[in-house]
């Protein structure tokens, strides 16, 4: 029989393909054998070794099977970071179940949409968010089982998390799980309308692990501190990747500066993820102590959204270079997270090195490659890529056109192959026929030593159609005229903001990743 290696359509071809992959659940099984007594998950109140974690995951997986849960079903979680989140995710990985990771910061209307979109029959609820769930429960008739993480059951369809383990055994489930099977669902920030549900496969997690090791050079000796919500890739991806390579994941319920500082002083942290909005509280805690970090290898994220002075200060405090990252829920760390910024230095440019695990193109509106130095939308291919949006055929058709995923982010490429972020294509301001990217203006404003935050949005203008308006938070006295002069020295005339409004730092509406929600700010114009 002739084997078609390229398509894998023959029987022997399928066998070869099956022999060439491993899933997240199988990786955990391996580590339970290789590192049985090494700590996999540390959490408030205890820890689980790889052997214990694998046994708990198998027991929960078998118990779910006994309750009629089958491959492809969804088991959703509405909870803060906690060990049950980790256990459920790994149980799902053993039997091909999908875990929608629900964002507890969403409004009731948005949360209802996210649950209705993915229709889980089972949902795990933390006591902190029980009331939020109850407010929309009558609109979710497809939910058959509610597992409570803290409280006692009150209704016939409720049970405790512990009772989910009833009738389970710690033997490995005999369910075939494929690398392209959907594994977790992470909801992306909605810029207009509702969030979309990004499908992350087992294959994508291994692609992200490859990037983690090949480009960030992290190892099984590097601990990851998961304080960011696990409904976001910043903790969910990193838990899975850290455990895949044999490292320890510390599960922290929320951003608590004192607690994070404790781990900085007591643990060897591979990558200390910090985001806009978290630096100032960490500065306060770290500068009040004479303690030194045990060893942080990398710090920070999203340099384009972070004031340069802040980058210099945090790297000096923890004695670690800043990760000059650019990735997304859909792509993982790629395409631009393969370089760092020096310790204690104020960066003057944020050019990024493309990750070694992806192929990229910069294209115009007709999907033609743009010349060097010209802005173009990032399109990429690679194993870390997600598998599309759940129940969103038109969005998938548009974003994956031509076999490339189009990110919606605009970059320019330099002669040395590095790339510079310009802005989100959708944020572009069209003023009197000129294209203006807000991020260009924001980078200039953030370079001012007294500017803590700067966000530029489109503002209606009777002459030009729309024009840039900047919202600014400062750490000291600075007026509009000074900032206008500062922009005049560093920006072309048509790019300068026509209006500046000062607001307190804590008034900027933010996503869970610390990004300012521009569409919320633009609503202010309409409300006024």
Report the b/e string of 413-437 with b at 16+ CB within 10 A: beeeebbbbbbbbebbbebeeeebb
With beta carbons less than 8 A apart as the criterion, state whether 20 and 10 touch: no
CA-angle at 76, arms to 72 and 78, nearest 5°: 170
- Residue 4 has a pLDDT of 44
**Residue ranges per structural domain of the chain:** 50-201, 255-423, 428-527
* Predicted confidence pLDDT, tens digits, the chain (528 residues): 444 444 444 555 667 767 778 999 999 999 999 999 999 999 998 999 999 999 999 999 999 999 999 999 999 999 999 999 999 999 999 999 999 999 998 878 889 999 999 999 999 999 999 999 999 999 999 999 999 999 888 878 899 999 999 888 999 999 999 999 999 999 986 544 678 999 999 999 999 999 999 999 999 999 999 999 999 999 999 999 999 999 999 999 999 999 999 999 999 999 999 987 789 899 999 999 889 999 999 999 989 878 899 999 999 999 999 999 999 999 999 999 999 999 999 999 999 999 999 999 999 989 999 999 999 999 999 999 999 999 999 999 999 999 999 998 889 999 999 999 887 777 778 776 667 878 888 888 998 999 999 999 888 876 667 788 999 999 999 999 999 999 888 887 878 899 999 999 989 988 766 778 877 888 887 666
* Domain covering 255-423 in this structure, CATH number: 3.40.50.12780
CATH architecture of 428-527: 2-Layer Sandwich (3.30)
Domain 255-423 and domain 428-527, same fold? Reply is: no
Q: Is 205 in contact with 240 (CB distance < 8 Å)?
A: yes
∠ CA 47-53-55, nearest 5°, is 135
Coil vs helix vs strand at 422: strand
Cβ partners under 8 Å of residue 415, min gap 6: 372
User: 90: closest CA among 265, 240, 276?
Assistant: 240
| pTM, to two decimals | 0.83
What's residue 521's pLDDT? Answer: 86
Between CA 407 and CA 386 the distance in angstroms is: 12
- Per the CB < 8 A criterion, the answer to whether 426 and 191 are in contact is yes
SS3 call for 490: helix
CB distance 39 to 251 below 8 Å: no
Check if CATH label 3.40.50.12780 holds for domain 50-201. yes
């Amino acid at each position: 029989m002739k084997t078609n290696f390229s398509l894998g359509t023959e029987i022997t071809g399928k066998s070869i393909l099956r022999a060439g992959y491993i899933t997240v659940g199988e990786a955990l099984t391996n580590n339970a054998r290789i590192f049985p007594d090494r700590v996999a998950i540390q959490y408030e109140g205890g820890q689980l070794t790889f052997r214990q974690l694998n046994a708990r995951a198998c027991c929960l997986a078998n118990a779910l099977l006994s309750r009629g849960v089958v491959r492809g079903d969804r088991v959703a979680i509405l909870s803060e970071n906690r060990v049950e989140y980790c256990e459920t995710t790994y149980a799902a990985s053993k039997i091909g179940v999908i875990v929608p990771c629900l964002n507890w910061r969403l409004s009731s209307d948005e949360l209802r949409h996210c649950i209705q979109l993915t229709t889980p029959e089972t949902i795990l609820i933390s006591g902190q968010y029980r009331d939020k769930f109850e407010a929309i429960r009558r609109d979710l008739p497809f939910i058959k089982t509610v597992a409570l993480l803290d409280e006692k059951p009150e209704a016939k369809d409720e049970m405790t998390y512990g009772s989910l383990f009833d009738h389970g055994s710690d033997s490995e489930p005999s369910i075939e799980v494929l690398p392209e099977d959907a594994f977790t669902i992470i909801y992306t920030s909605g810029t207009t309308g509702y969030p979309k549900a990004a499908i992350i496969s087992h294959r994508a997690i291994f692609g992200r692990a490859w990037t983690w090791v090949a480009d960030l050079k992290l190892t099984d000796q590097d601990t990851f501190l998961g304080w960011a919500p696990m409904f976001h890739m910043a903790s969910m991806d990193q838990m899975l990747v850290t455990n895949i390579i044999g490292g320890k994941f510390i599960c922290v319920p929320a951003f608590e500066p004192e607690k994070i500082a404790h781990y900085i002083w007591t643990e060897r942290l591979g990558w200390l993820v910090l985001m806009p909005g978290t630096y100032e509280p960490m500065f306060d805690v770290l500068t009040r102590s004479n303690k030194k970090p045990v060893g942080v290898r990398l710090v920070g994220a999203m340099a384009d959204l972070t004031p340069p002075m802040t980058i210099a200060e945090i790297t000096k405090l923890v004695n670690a270079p800043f990760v000059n990252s650019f990735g997304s829920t859909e792509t993982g760390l790629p395409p631009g997270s393969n370089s760092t910024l020096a310790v204690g230095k104020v960066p003057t440019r944020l050019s990024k090195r493309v990750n070694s695990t992806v192929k990229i193109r910069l294209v115009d509106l007709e999907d033609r490659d743009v010349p060097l130095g010209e802005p173009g939308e990032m399109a990429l291919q690679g194993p870390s890529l997600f598998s599309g949006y759940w129940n969103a055929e038109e969005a998938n058709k548009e974003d994956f056109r031509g076999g490339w995923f189009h990110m919606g982010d605009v970059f320019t490429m330099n002669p040395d192959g590095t790339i510079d972020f310009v802005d989100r294509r959708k944020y572009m301001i069209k003023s009197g026929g000129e294209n203006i990217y807000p991020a260009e203006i924001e980078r200039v404003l953030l370079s001012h030593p007294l500017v803590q935050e700067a966000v530029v949005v489109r503002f209606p203008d009777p002459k030009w159609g729309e024009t840039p308006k900047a919202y600014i938070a400062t750490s000291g006295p600075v007026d509009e005229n000074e900032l206008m002069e500062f922009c005049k020295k560093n920006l072309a005339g048509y790019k300068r903001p026509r209006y500046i409004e000062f607001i307190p730092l804590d008034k900027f509406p933010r996503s869970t990743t610390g990004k300012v929600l521009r569409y919320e700010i633009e609503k202010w114009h309409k409300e006024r």
